[in-house]
Amino acid sequence: MSAVLVVGSVALDSVETPFGRIEDAIGGSGTFFSASASHLTPVNLVGVVGNDYPMERLEPLRARGVDLAGLVRADGESFRWRGRYRHDLNSAETLETRLGVFSQFRPQIPAQFRTSPYVFLGNIDPRLQHDVLDQVEKPRLVACDTMNFWIESRRHELLRLLGRVDILLLNDAEARQLTEEYNLVRAARWILARGPKHVVIKKGEHGAYMFSSHSVFFAPAYPLEEVFDPTGAGDSFAGGFVGYLARTGRADEAAMRRAVVYGSTLGSFAVERFSIDRLLEIHRVDIARRLEEFRKLVAFEEELDE
């Protein structure tokens, strides 16, 4: 079992869905990833918060093995996001974004984190993702996330980053925007040609594809009766995905496929409550039970014609 270094946002989210609303909930890419991955492996979190951040609300993460030594507290307001989901829960309407101290974020990786064998670069400026890779020492595996804003505004830096990472995770709209290819198979091939060994394309409630140079794998989303709050689902997926690889120390095809299912499993728990609440409630037995349900979901017997 190896530690995962995650560099991402630690935020306060105010969210409205058809099922309720919440103010100043614990959020951010680094936070959701940590809450998910910590079920599988130790996590080293690097981020920044303002002096208004309720640090005591992160104690459950610390208790679960998330090392917060890289979380800097700076003078100013914490990163805040306000969003609303209507009946299409696959897309959020951003009502307000206040970057606060996150606008000046320059990741400084603590010395004890620099040898982390697994690295996840959360959804931050690609220039900062490069800075992180300049500070770590020969990681075994690097995965990164991105978003439409960076694809549009930092395209050159993002394309250069593809040559430095092993896995790129993004959603289907981002894959099409990045590659200018509507077909996701062609989009994945375009990305693979620029460096990553694997590309994971997430399709929300419709599951996730993983592409490599020689294979394609698809995992469905877990069929939930209610999706309470989709915020952080992608980062929770990434936490389960990278967390599983770090736990096993493997990156062969079978392990990568299981990692996708672990990602889908942890992501399915995240959407059942606001914030990271559901991820803090579950235990290893809950994860094992849902993994078995995933296995049954896609299992079938081949019937041969006589």
R_g of the chain, CA atoms, integer Å: 18
Measured CA to CA in angstroms, residue 248 lies from 118, 241, 251, 252, 259 at distances of 12, 11, 9, 11, 10
The answer to whether residue 185 is domain-embedded is yes
> Total domain count for the chain?
1
In this prediction, residue 149 carries a pLDDT of 85
In a domain, residue 113? The reply is yes
CATH number at residue 12: 3.40.1190.20
> Who's near 210: CB < 8 A, 6+ residues apart?
198, 199, 200, 201, 216, 217, 218, 219, 256, 257, 260
Beta bridge partners of 71: 47
Distance of CA 212 to the CA centre of its chain: 19
Question: Is residue 186 in some structural domain?
Answer: yes
Residue 129 domain-assigned?
yes
Q: Mean of the pLDDT values across residues 237-254?
A: 96
**CA 43 to CA 36: how far, in whole Å?**
10
Q: How confident is the model at residue 306 (pLDDT cuts 50, 70, 90)?
A: low
Read off the pTM. 0.94
Residue 146 counted as domain residue: yes
Which pLDDT tens digit goes with each residue over 142-200? 999 998 888 999 999 999 999 999 999 999 999 999 999 999 999 999 999 999 999 99
Q: State pLDDT tens for residues 56-84.
A: 999 999 999 999 999 999 999 999 999 99
How far, CA to CA in Å, does 128 sit from each of 133, 242, 288? 9, 20, 36
| pLDDT on residue 301 | 75
Asked, for residue 305, whether it belongs to a domain, the answer is: no
Q: Which domain holds residue 176?
A: 4-298
Q: Residue 306 falls within a domain, yes or no? A: no
95-141 confidence digits (pLDDT tens): 999 999 999 999 999 999 999 999 999 989 999 999 999 999 999 99
pLDDT at 58: 96
What integer pLDDT is reported at residue 194 of this predicted model? 96
Does residue 304 lie within any of the structural domains?
no
